[in-house]
Amino acid sequence: MLYFFLSYARGPDDLFVRRFYNDLCSEVRVHAGVGHDVEVGFLDNHNIEPGQLWPQALVNAIGECSSFLALYSPAYFLSRPCGKEWRLFEQRSNGARPEDPSRIQGLIPIVWLPPRELPPVAQAVHYDLDVPEDDYRRRGLRQLLRLQRMHDAYIDFLSTVTEHIVAAARTPPPPLASLDLDFDRLESAFHGSVRGAEDGGELPARFGTGQMIHFVIAAPTRAQAETVQRDGGFYGADVLDWAPFGPGQPQPLRDYAQKVASEYGFESMFTGVDRLADRVKVAQQYNHIVVMLVDPWSADIAAHREQLLEYDHHRDHVSAMLVVMSAADPQTQAHRARLADLMHDTLGNNERRLDEVMLRRSVLTWPSFEADLAVVLAEARNRLVADGRVYRRPPPGDYAPRPILEGP
């Protein structure tokens, strides 16, 4: 049994959140009288093992935890994944306290950084930890952790939260009726109903705020790969099945991409390279982000190479491009130089249009893929805030190669 699930928005405070999580786990073990090796809490980047299905791990943890700790902050209530976690726990608790629907059994709100306003679902929840510390009420737990002079207040706060967690474990909410749920299709409790259009369809006007990422995967199917003597073990019946980091990490690349996008509060859609031009058109209309995830072997497939070449000659371009050359793939490493040249010949214009932040020429591992994609999405969001546009259009005229300086 898990005593608590810690729901928070990822960001620059992650180290402080992890410290709080570790301290809380230690306190809960002491108060509950369990061994130091017993897993009492859940934190996504701590408990999810490499290669484990991320959404299902969240569903399992929320389905069995006794209490749900929501770290209130401005970023928390902007995060769709956090809203989905809240919604799932709320659904689990429905019916547990029909006489008081404003009190979700097992929910323990914690003010990390006071938000300016709360969404309706949070406004309806009345829960007081009865913490007398004024600094916590005015500035949140984040401040107690950051200031050395607040250490004693932090220890007192930690004990109070622990008492609530251990008490909640005596009468946990009923378990989920089924753990066979699609986390990605859950609606956020903070944002209401948000649905992407089916592939190729138009998107409603409410998506004109940069909330959507269109991932375009340029990779062959297993059958296509085998026509060029490419190892088919990294592919499936559909281009979206491409799993470049297998067999040790057999998870499709789209799962890693969706995980990172969700952590940054984005909805995401996936399509093959045959719909690339359509996705870019829609994205530019609504100011969305288009990220190409490229298997360099796709340029060896005649049909894919033709599509990529045709697109590369258009002026419209993607927001970012990540080329995966997996270190776990001996065949790719043996042909690395040839594949790099092939990519340059096929997508040279897009390579020149993108800057060094938004173009990743050789992603070797799944951790580096997640890290690179996180940087790309953070930069795309910064450009939205600074300029109001993801796309920074190049000046009119022909695209010339960037100059290369040689010599000492």
Interval 137-147: pLDDT, tens? 778 899 899 88
Confidence of residue 130 (pLDDT cuts 50, 70, 90): low
Phi, psi of 125 (to 5 degrees): -90, 120
Question: What tens digit of pLDDT does each residue of 279-323 get?
Answer: 888 887 777 888 989 999 988 888 888 888 888 887 667 788 899
Reported as type and span, the H/E element at residue 108 is strand 107-111
Lowest mean pLDDT among 81-85, 100-104, 322-326: 100-104
Quote the percentage of the chain above a pLDDT of 90: 22
Under 8 Å CB-to-CB from 205, ≥6 apart: which residues?
A: 286
Round to the nearest angstrom and report the end-to-end CA distance of the chain: 64
Q: Determine the Cα–Cα distance for residues 321 and 341; give it in Å rounded to an integer.
A: 16
Q: Which of 45-49, 89-93, 112-116, 307-311 has the lowest mean pLDDT?
A: 45-49
Contact 92, 175 (CB under 8 A): yes
Note the pLDDT of residue 198: 36
* Calpha distance 105→102 (Å, rounded): 9
Cα(30)–Cα(9) distance, rounded to whole angstroms? 27
Strand order in the sheet with 359-363: 267-272, 212-218, 289-294, 320-324, 359-363
- Output the pTM of the full model: 0.56
Answer whether 174's CB lies under 8 Å from 230's CB: no
Residue 406's pLDDT band (boundaries 50, 70, 90)?
Answer: very low
